[in-house]
Structure 1
Amino acid sequence: MYLVTPREVKYLPNILRARKNLKLTLSSRQMQILIGSILGDGYITYRGQIQLEHSDKYQPYLFWKFGELKALAYGQPSLVERTDKRTGAKYRSYRFWLRQYFRPWRDYFYQKKIKIFPHGFELSPLALAVWYMDDGCYSDGRCTIATECFSTESCQNIQDMLKKQFDLDTHIRSNGKLAIRARSQNSFFSIIRPYVHSTMAYKIL
Structure 2
Amino acid sequence: NMNIASNMFNMMKTIYMMMLMLLIYIFYTIMMRQMMKTKEYTMLIKSMDYINKNKYMINLNMTNKKDMNNNIGPLNMDILSIIYGSMLGDGHAEKRKGGKGTRIVFQQEYCNINYLYYLHSLLANLGYCNTNLPLIKTRLGKKGKIRQYLKFNTWTYDSFNMIYSEWYIKNTSGKGNIKVIPKSLDNYLTPLALAIWIMDDGCKLGKGLKFATNCFSYKDVQYLTYLLHNKYNIKSTIHKGNKENTQFVIYVWKESMPILTKIVSPYIIPSMKYKLGNYL
TM-score range, shorter chain: 0.7 to 0.9
> 3-state DSSP class of the match of 1:66?
helix
Q: Would you say 1:80 and 2:137 are equivalent positions?
A: yes
More strand by share: 1
Q: CA deviation at 1:164?
A: 0.7
Change (3 A) 1:196 1:22: closer
**Counterpart residue identity of residue 56, structure 1:** Y
Matches within 5 A, 1:1-205: 23-24=71-72, 26-47=75-96, 48-70=102-124, 71-74=127-130, 76=132, 77-84=134-141, 86-101=142-157, 102-112=160-170, 113-119=177-183, 121-122=185-186, 123-175=189-241, 176-204=248-276, 205=279
Q: Which amino acid aligns with 1:118?
A: P
SS in 2 for 1:117: coil
Checking the alignment, whether the CA contact within 8 Å between 1:51 and 1:98 is kept in structure 2 is yes
RMSD of Structure 2 on Structure 1 (CA): 1.9
Query: What is the letter of the counterpart of residue 191 of structure 1?
Result: I
1:78 & 1:104 partners in 2: Cα distance?
29
**What is the CA–CA distance in structure 1 between the aligned matches of 2:137 and 2:161, rounded to whole Å?**
25
Q: Deviations over 1:131-159 (max 9, x none)?
A: 11100000322311011111111111111
**1:120 Cα deviation after fit:** 5.5
For residues 72 and 155 of structure 2, what CA distance do their matches in structure 1 show? 9
Q: Is residue 83–residue 104 contact of structure 2 (8 Å, CA) maintained in 1?
A: no
- Structure 1's consecutive aligned runs of 4 or more residues displaced over 3 angstroms after TM superposition are 24-27
Separation in structure 2 between the aligned mates of residue 22 and residue 57 of structure 1, nearest angstrom: 32
Structure 1: how far apart are the matches of 2:95 and 2:137?
22
Residue 211 of structure 2 contacts residue 251 of structure 2 at CA under 8 Å; is this kept in 1? yes
Matched AA of 1:183: E
Report the secondary structure of 1:81's partner residue.
strand
Tell me the alpha carbon deviations over residues 95-131 of structure 1, each in whole angstroms, 9 at most, x when there is no partner. Answer: 1111121222110111221211123532111100101
Which residue of the partner structure matches residue 15 of structure 1?
none
More displaced 10-residue stretch of structure 1: 111-120 or 39-48: 111-120
Change (3 A) 1:45 1:190: same
Name the aligned partner's letter for residue 108 of structure 2. Answer: H
State the alpha-carbon separation in 1 of the partners of residues 78 and 163 from structure 2: 16
| Higher Rg | 2
Pick closer, same or farther for the CA change 1:179–1:45 going to 2, 3 Å: same
Q: Percent identity?
A: 28
Structure 1 gaps of 5+ residues are: 1-20
Whole-angstrom CA distance in 1 between matches of 2:107 and 2:214: 19
Shift of residue 88, structure 1, vs aligned partner:
1.4
**Alignment-mate amino acid for residue 54 of structure 1:** Q
Residue 27 (structure 1) shift: 3.6
Deviation of the 1:78 alpha carbon: 2.3
Is contact 1:172-1:179 (8 Å) kept? yes
State how many pairs are aligned. 184
- Equivalent residue for 2:32? none
8 A Cα contact 2:84 2:185, kept in partner: no
Q: Which runs of 5+ in 2 are unaligned?
A: 1-68, 97-101, 171-176, 242-247
